[in-house]
Amino acid sequence: MSAPFYVSPEQLMKDRADFARKGIARGRSVVAVQYADGVLFASENPSQALHKVSEIYDRIAFAAVGRYNEFENLRIAGVRLADMRGYSYDRRDVTGRGLANAYAQTLGTIFSSGGEKPYEVELFVAEIGATSPDDQIYRLTYDGQVADEHRFAVMGGAAEVVTAYLTEHYSDGMSLEQALGTAVAALGHSESEDRVIPADDLEVAVLDRTRTQQRKFSRLRPAVLEQMLGERSAPAAAAPGPEGGSAPAGGADGGDPPVAPPIS
């Protein structure tokens, strides 16, 4: 083997960043939207088994785009960290900030170590508090940067287009139905057209502070989504009107406990 050519650190980092960014942009977007009772995650994901959004702990959820095997690894490590901390101290001592910090350090170390390929992932770690202003969404990028996001956040796929749509249509204090409608319309939006994404191809989960259970994470099954989204026309510019008090009484498939209706 001949001696390696000199590569400037700037170039090395740039190459690694380009590599990671390319991998992340390949998939579909994931959006996180704050609404009155918590944080909603939505993604176009036809697979019912390979999740992009998952539960980490009582009030903490995880969403990711990029390489499945890499973010799945990070997710499991996060669950282990949270459960370990909750078991050795108390459930309240598990915080989103601590978890985001651990992810940031891990991703940062992997990104800057020459021996390893950088992770092609981007993550959201969200934590809900007692009230909406206490809710946190952290964005973690492949190089270990952490950003504190407010109102909504988009990653992966055509993130700019989706962000632009949400900037225009997002409003504070939305109900769950409104937030869902807006998020799903944003996912289907592109410069050329507005698609209607079938409910079966959506992966939607919420951190809902109105849940009576200690664990606030809950998935919304396609049957529930169908009902909540109501009639959607192709140019789904406006969020479908609130379905009122007739919030779904629970997953028809019986898989998940029912989601408490939003307080109106």
Chain residues binding other proteins by CB under 8 A are 49, 51, 54-56, 73-74, 76-81, 83-84, 86-88, 101-103, 105-106, 109, 212-213, 215, 254, 257
Q: Do the beta carbons of residue 154 and residue 14 sit within 8 Å?
A: no
- Rounded to a whole number of angstroms, the minimum distance from the CB of residue 191 to other proteins is 35
Question: What is the DSSP secondary structure assignment for residue 121, as one 8-state letter?
Answer: E
Q: How far is the CB of 53 from other proteins (least distance, A)?
A: 11
State CA 257 to chain mean position distance: 21
User: Which DSSP letter does residue 6 get?
Assistant: P
CA-based Rg of the chain, rounded to a whole angstrom? 19
> Considering Cα of 115, then 121, then 127, then 132, what sign does the dihedral take?
positive
| Cβ-based nearer residue to other proteins, 84 or 234 | 84
Query: CB of 254: closest distance to other proteins in angstroms?
Result: 8
For 125, which DSSP code? E
- The token duo for 79 is 């669950």
Q: How far apart are CA 225 and CA 248, in angstroms?
A: 9
Q: Count CA atoms within 13 Å of residue 247 on its CB side.
A: 16
CB of 236 to other proteins, least distance (A): 30
Host H or E run for residue 62: strand 60-66
* Of 94 and 159, CB closest to other proteins: 94
Nearest approach, Cβ of residue 227 and other proteins (Å): 19
Closer by beta carbon to other proteins, 54 or else 163: 54
| Identity of the residue, 105 or 233, whose beta carbon is nearer to other proteins in the bound complex | 105
Q: Is the CB of residue 256 less than 8 Å from the CB of residue 218?
A: yes
Q: Which is nearer to other proteins, 158 or 250 (CB)?
A: 250
CB of 55 to other proteins, least distance (A): 5
Please, which residue, 72 or 226, has the CB nearer to other proteins? 72
Instruction: Please tell me the distance from the alpha carbon of residue 151 to that of residue 144, in angstroms, as a whole number.
Output: 22
The C-alpha atoms of residue 185 and residue 169 are separated, in whole angstroms, by 10
